[in-house]
Amino acid sequence: MATLAARPFAETALIIRPTGTLLEATGWAFIAMAPAMLAAWYGLTYRPGKRLIAIFLAFSSGLLISTLSFDLVEEAAKTSGVTVAVIGFLVGVASYLAVNAVIEHIGIIRRTSANCGGLGKLTPQQQELRNISLVIAFGALLDGIPESIGIGLSFLENGLVPAAFVAAAALANIPEGLASGTGLSKSQMKTSTILGIWTVVVLACVFSAVIAMATMHNADSQWKSGIMAFAGGGVLAMTLEAVIPEAYAETHHWVSILGATGFIVSFCLSHAFH
């Protein structure tokens, strides 16, 4: 999923309307996350092929790696130093792995799909599809919460959000929703349940932006930098464990070309208006 962070706003020429209110923070956090839910609906309705989804995922992997590198971890280091950035990053990785271990224990992960725990009487292929899709949805949640907190912090400090980051976040959310919605639908999960899952993901992320803006007025800059780096760690772990393997399975060596293209797009969005 692409990430969004507070950054030196003087470096960015294209700026979304600077109101700095809770309503605006809520609106832009929703704009960043809503494409995932729309893509999930499209996926469960039209069930695009695995190769098309893999192409989107491969492109998304480049977007995610670029944004976590330059817009999260680097910005955290610039603001509060390398130590804070590294600690926050490692905590983000560890948090993703810890929660992933819990869901692995109950069978909601690809490598344990043959021992699916409590997910119904499905064929091995359907179990695998459901497990992968749930992991991607979980990754979107783990990524989206710190991302949305970054939006809230941006409004808190400056009342501004760079348009490039909102665009990158929205673009990278599409393949995650598409892949998860399609996989859950093919695994015989009800449409209402799928949409319910993604509605919770989107609302939880939007609520995080509101809470961040409403409660962190006096937070130390190191805490804010730590949150950005934490998001970067979670994004990297999710990209390596859930996005790239699924993209490679269908695109093979094209994953490098597509991922590099996504990286360049995100990199250019971040620097085009400096």
Position 178 pLDDT exceeds 80: yes
pLDDT in the model for residue 237: 86
pLDDT tens, residue by residue, 104-125: 665 554 432 333 333 446 677 7
The secondary element (H helix, E strand) that includes residue 165 is helix 163-186
Position 9 pLDDT exceeds 70: no
Model confidence pTM above 0.75: no
Tokens of 198: 């993604």
Instruction: Tell me the C-alpha distance between 111 and 166, whole Å.
Output: 34
**Which of 115-119, 144-148, 181-185, 214-218 is predicted with the least confidence, judged by mean pLDDT?**
115-119
Instruction: Tell me the C-alpha distance between 227 and 274, whole Å.
Output: 24
81 Ramachandran zone, left/alpha/beta (phi>0; psi -120 to 50): left
107 Ramachandran zone, left/alpha/beta (phi>0; psi -120 to 50): left
Query: Can you count the helices (H) and strands (E) in the chain?
Result: 10, 0
| Residue 103: band (very low, low, confident or very high) from pLDDT cuts 50, 70, 90 | low
